[in-house]
Structure 1
Amino acid sequence: MTSRTIAAVHAAIRDDIADLVTRRPVPAADLPQVDPFLFLNHHGPQVYAANNNGLPFGPHPHRGFETVTFILSGTLAHHDTGGHQSVIAAGGVQWMTAGSGLIHAEVSPPDFKQTGGPLEILQLWVNLPSRLKMTPPRYTGVQADGIPALSTPDGAGTVNLVSGSFVGQKGPIRSLTDVFMATVQLYPGARVELPAPCGRAVLFYVVSGRVAVAGREVDQWHLATFNDDSDTVMVEASEDAVLLFGHADPINEPVVAHGPFVMNTREEIGEAIRDYQAGRFNGTGPLLDVGA
Structure 2
Amino acid sequence: MKTRKAIHAADYHPIADLITYNPLPSHKLRQIDPFIFLNHHGHQTYPKNNNGLPFGPHPHRGMETVTFILEGDIMHKDSGGHESVIEAGGIQWMTAGSGLIHAEVSSEKFKKEGGDLEILQLWVNLPAKHKMTKPKYIGLQKNEINHFKLDEDKVNVQLISGEWEGQKGSFETISPIMLSTIHLKAGGKFTKSIPQEENVFFYIVKGSVELQGEKIPFRNLVEFNNDGESVSVKASEDAIIILGHAKPFNEPIVAQGPFVMNTQQEIMQAYQDYQAGKFGSWDHE
Length-normalised TM-score, structure 2: 0.98
Structure-2 separation of matches of 1:228 and 1:260: 30
Unaligned 5+ runs, structure 2: none
Unaligned 5+ runs, structure 1: none
CA contact (8 A) 1:154 1:191 kept: no
> Which of 132, 135, 155 matches 2:133?
135
Worse overlay, 155-164 or 55-64 = 155-164
Question: Which contiguous aligned blocks of 4+ residues in structure 1 show a shift greater than 3 angstroms?
Answer: none
In the alignment, structure 1 residue 220 sits paired with structure 2 residue 207: no
Name the counterpart of 1:182.
Answer: 180
Structure-2 separation of matches of 1:115 and 1:39: 31
In the alignment, structure 1 residue 166 sits paired with structure 2 residue 164: yes
Structure-1 separation of matches of 2:103 and 2:238: 33
- Look up the equivalent residue of 1:158 and give its one-letter code: N
Over the matched positions of the two proteins, sequence identity in percent amounts to 53
> Which of 86, 95, 99 matches 2:97?
99
Structure-2 separation of matches of 1:37 and 1:174: 17
Root-mean-square deviation (CA, aligned residues, Å) is 1.0
**Secondary structure at 1:112 match in 2:** helix
> Which of 51, 54, 58 matches 1:53?
51
Q: How do 1:233-244 residues align onto structure 2 when only pairs under 5 Å count?
A: 233-244=231-242
Structure-2 separation of matches of 1:196 and 1:79: 35
Query: Cα distance, 1:16 vs. partner?
Result: 0.3
- Look up the equivalent residue of 1:227 and give its one-letter code: N
- Look up the equivalent residue of 1:288 and give its one-letter code: H
CA contact (8 A) 1:81 1:281 kept: yes
- Look up the equivalent residue of 1:256 and give its one-letter code: V
CA contact (8 A) 1:72 1:121 kept: yes
Query: Cα distance, 1:287 vs. partner?
Result: 4.2
Distance 1:201 1:117, change over 3 A: same
Residues 156-195 of structure 1 show CA distances to partners (whole Å, capped at 9, x for unaligned) of 1101111011222111100101110110001111121023
Name the counterpart of 2:284.
Answer: 288
**Secondary structure at 2:234 match in 1:** strand
Structure-1 separation of matches of 2:171 and 2:146: 11
Structure-1 separation of matches of 2:101 and 2:210: 40
Query: Cα distance, 1:148 vs. partner?
Result: 1.6
Structure-2 separation of matches of 1:51 and 1:172: 34
**Secondary structure at 1:279 match in 2:** coil
CA contact (8 A) 1:164 1:171 kept: yes
Name the counterpart of 1:147.
Answer: 145
In the alignment, structure 1 residue 249 sits paired with structure 2 residue 270: no
Query: Cα distance, 1:40 vs. partner?
Result: 0.2
CA contact (8 A) 1:64 1:101 kept: yes
How many residue pairs were aligned? Answer: 285
Query: Cα distance, 1:154 vs. partner?
Result: 4.2
Query: Cα distance, 1:230 vs. partner?
Result: 1.6
In the alignment, structure 1 residue 209 sits paired with structure 2 residue 211: no
CA contact (8 A) 2:87 2:141 kept: yes
Worse overlay, 100-109 or 163-172 = 163-172
